[in-house]
A and B are shown apart, each in its own frame.
Chain A
Amino acid sequence: MRTGAHGRRRFLGLAAAALVAPLLPRPARAQAGARIVVVGGGFAGATCARSLRRADPGLDVTLVEPNPTFTACPFSNAVLAGLRDLRDQRFGYQALVAEGIRVVHAAATAVDPRGRQVRLADGTALPYERLVVAPGIDFRWEAIPGYGEAAAQQMPHAWKAGEQTLLLRRQLEAMPDGGLVVMAVPANPYRCPPGPYERASLIAHYLKTTKPRSKLLVLDAKDSFSKQPLFTAAWGQLYPGLLEWVPLSHGGRVIAVDPATHTVSTDFERYRAAVANIIPPQRAGRIAEAAGVADRTGWCPINPVTFESRLQPNIHVLGDAALAGAMPKSAFAANAQAKVCAAAVLTLLRGGTPPDPVLVNTCYSLVAPDYAISVAGVYRPKAGQLADVEGAGGTSPLQAPQEVRSLEARYAEAWFRTITDDVFG
Chain B
Amino acid sequence: MTGPLRLGVALGSAVIAGAVLAAPALAADAALLASTCTGCHTTSARITTAIPRIAGLPEVVLAEAMRAFRTGQRPATVMDRIAKGFTDDEIQQLAAYFSSRR
Contacts and interface: CB of A to CB of B under 8 A. Distances in A.
Interface of A: 16, 19-20, 23-25, 27-29, 51, 332, 335-336, 339-340, 343, 347, 350-352, 355, 357-360, 362, 374, 376-378, 389, 391-394, 396, 404, 407-408, 410-411, 413-415, 417-419, 421-422, 425
B39 A358 contact: no
11 contacts: A20-B14, A336-B39, A343-B32, A352-B20, A393-B82, A396-B77, A417-B47, A418-B41, A421-B44, A421-B47, A422-B38
A141 B7 CA distance: 55
Contact of A362 (B31, B40, B42, B86): B40
B60 interface: no
B81 interface: yes
B21 interface: yes
Interface residues of B, number: 39
Nearest to A343: B32
A27 B14 CA distance: 10
A44 B77 CA distance: 26
**What are the 8 A-B residue pairs with the smallest beta carbon separation, nearest first?**
A378-B85, A392-B85, A414-B49, A339-B35, A28-B18, A392-B84, A25-B18, A389-B85
Q: Is the interface of A mostly helix, strand, loop or mixed?
A: helix
A357 B77 contact: no
Nearest to B38: A422
A239 to B, nearest CB: 23
Contacts of B78: 362, 374, 376, 396, 408, 411
A355 B32 contact: yes
A352 B37 CA distance: 24
Given A28-B18, A28-B21, A393-B81, A360 B37 contact: yes
Given A350-B21, A352-B20, A362 B39 contact: yes
A28 B14 contact: yes
A350 B46 CA distance: 33
Contacts of A391: 84-85
A351 B17 CA distance: 12
B51 interface: yes
Contacts of A422: 38-39, 42, 44
A414 B40 contact: yes
B42 A418 contact: yes
Contacts of A352: 20-21
Nearest to A396: B77
